[in-house]
Chains A and B, each alone.
Chain A
Amino acid sequence: DAGVIQSPRHEVTEMGQEVTLRCKPISGHDYLFWYRQTMMRGLELLIYFNNNVPIDDSGMPEDRFSAKMPNASFSTLKIQPSEPRDSAVYFCASSFRPLNTEAFFGQGTRLTVV
């Protein structure tokens, strides 16, 4: 398996534009997590899914953020409209429930909103 795959790796957009980040978890993993990383706040959990169902979205900053998981192999995190304070690295991670073992991270998407 190629691991968790995120796209794009880098995204630069203007304030007010819609941004969509994508994630493909490891095949067979039933948990998918979205994290945002900044120097000030570290690794913040935004939302996570189990078997494609959102379990806890209490970390989503505001209504401008939304996430979906239409099937077991794909998830999106959307920001609309984007703001400069959304600039961060966004990580997706997946894990396999029955073993309750490590979460594997994707390489992240570095988002810059200007």
Chain B
Amino acid sequence: GENVEQHPSTLSVQEGDSAVIKCTYSDSASNYFPWYKQELGKRPQLIIDIRSNVGEKKDQRIAVTLNKTAKHFSLHITETQPEDSAVYFCAARIRPSPLAGGTSYGKLTFGQGTILTVHP
């Protein structure tokens, strides 16, 4: 089945610096890679996602890159702010079609999370 590894587990940066979180996945049937942000005591919420037919996607200060060959993807946050402090999760989703995704079609697996702290 799909296995998603995420690093680092904790990341501490100064305000204005960049932060990078990296993930690897194992199942080549995965084609959708979302990133979620979870603030303390709240639910995970999507901040950006990327599909396997795209190598990079950017949304203001957030960008995600995908290397399908190496099966890894990364989240980049530039000009970090204290409000960026949270837990970030990467995830990989297997194609939702039973024909393309095998017996675990549509499965959504998360990495272990990264606690990001941005110091003012």
Interface residues, chain A, with chain B CB atoms under 8 Å away = 31, 33, 35, 41-43, 45, 48, 50, 55-56, 58, 91, 93, 95, 97-98, 100-103, 105-108
A10 to B: closest C-beta gap in Å: 12
Assembly CA distance A103 to B109 (angstroms): 11
Of A35, A55, A58, which contacts B106 at CB under 8 A?
A: A55
**B113 and A91 within 8 A (CB):** no
Assembly CA distance A56 to B29 (angstroms): 16
Interface residues, chain B, with chain A CB atoms under 8 Å away = 1, 31-32, 34, 42-46, 49, 89, 93, 95-96, 103-113
Assembly CA distance A105 to B42 (angstroms): 10
Contacts A100-B96, A105-B43; is A42 near B110 (CB within 8 Å)?
yes
A54 to B: closest C-beta gap in Å: 12
Main secondary structure of the interface of A (DSSP, over half): strand
**B44 and A100 within 8 A (CB):** no
B118 to A: closest C-beta gap in Å: 21
Of B31, B44, B46, B104, which contacts A43 at CB under 8 A?
A: B44
A27 to B: closest C-beta gap in Å: 18
Assembly CA distance A42 to B23 (angstroms): 14
Of A33, A58, A98, A106, which contacts B43 at CB under 8 A?
A: A106
